[in-house]
Amino acid sequence: MPIAVIAFDFDPLIRLGTDVSVRWQTLALATVVLVCLACAGILGRRRGLRADDLLYIAIGAAPGAVVGGRIGYALLVPEAFGTGLLSLFDPSIGGLELSLAVVGGLGSAAVVATLLGAPVVQWAHVASIPLLAAIAGGKLTMALGGSGQGRPFDGDWATAYLGAGPWVAAAPAIPSHPSQVYEAIGTVLVALLVLVASSLGLFRSGDGRRLLVALAGWCGARAVVSLTWRDPAILGSLPAGGLITIVVGVTAVASVIALSAWWPRRQQARAKAAQPAWPDPETRPRF
């Protein structure tokens, strides 16, 4: 068996006494989420948004993410839920599919923001970069637990996980594509492109298009990376998860196009409605 150039051999657990342990991956992920939420709050304050609304919006994103992720996982592995619909709510069965988890989380977050009376499109504009940062950071944390490994690979940057672990990936010692790192790098590149576009004034109106573009860009990067996953292919070399990601990305692109056509008309209508309806002096009746 070829030996990976990048081999990890460390204890993935932080051991607190003899009976309690926490994964480095879990601790790092919690740190990433906290930092990204703090950044979103700072960016929101700069745009005049209420930072305390962010806490409720973030909490509101959780149920949508779980529901969306479970539906996505059921599409990937339908046989895992053969006992009935209620098995979708059994946390001991399967996991979550990320693409639909992100969509579901954004949907329920938008509902909560609407109930709070918060400006949804403004928060969508603000959340685009922190969301991409959270995804990229979350993918990198997977490398600390050996999860997210791709297909076997003997290139110079192949990774393997040695030692007792416990590692999340199956057969962690086999040199493989670091798919989780690929996706993190792709997501960072998308975030940089979105920032450049923002600096050029392409999202100046704050109509939510920046979030949709960020989502579409991430889906594109994720779909390409999915070609290296260990999941079985269902369409050419594309696995089911990659196909779901493409559908989400195409939907985001279509939404951007539709919003680009609708938003200017809405702004014009609002500006016209805000004008005072003074009577025309030329048509005013004379006495």
Q: What is the DSSP letter of 85?
A: G
pLDDT beneath 70: ranges in the chain: 1-4, 205-206, 262-287
Q: What angle do CA 222, 183, 248 make, to 5 degrees?
A: 20
pLDDT at res. 89: 76
Instruction: Measure the CA–CA gap between 206 and 239, rounded to whole angstroms.
Output: 35
Q: Which distant-in-sequence residues (6+ apart) come within 8 Å of 256 by Cβ?
A: 209, 212, 213, 216
Instruction: Measure the CA–CA gap between 284 and 287, rounded to whole angstroms.
Output: 10
112 located within any domain: no
Q: Which domain holds residue 200?
A: 6-49+119-273
> What does the block give as tokens for 224?
């390409």
279 located within any domain: no
168 located within any domain: yes
pLDDT at res. 227: 96
pLDDT at res. 88: 74
pLDDT at res. 16: 82
Secondary structure (3-state) at 1: coil
> What does the block give as tokens for 151?
């297909």
Q: Which of 115, 121, 145, 126 is nearest to 207 (CA)?
A: 121
97 located within any domain: no
Measure CA 111 to chain center.
17
Count of domains observed in the chain: 1
Instruction: Measure the CA–CA gap between 96 and 33, rounded to whole angstroms.
Output: 17
* H/E stretch holding 235: strand 233-235
45 located within any domain: yes
Q: What is the DSSP letter of 279?
A: P
pLDDT at res. 112: 96
**What DSSP string runs through 35-64?**
HHHHHHHHHHHHTT--HHHHHHHHHHHHHH
91 located within any domain: no
134 located within any domain: yes
Burial (0-12, 13-18, 19+ Cβ within 10 Å), 285: exposed
Q: Which distant-in-sequence residues (6+ apart) come within 8 Å of 163 by Cβ?
A: 9, 10, 11
144 located within any domain: yes
pLDDT at res. 15: 84
Q: Write out pLDDT tens, residues 161-201.
A: 998 889 988 889 999 999 999 999 999 999 999 999 999 98
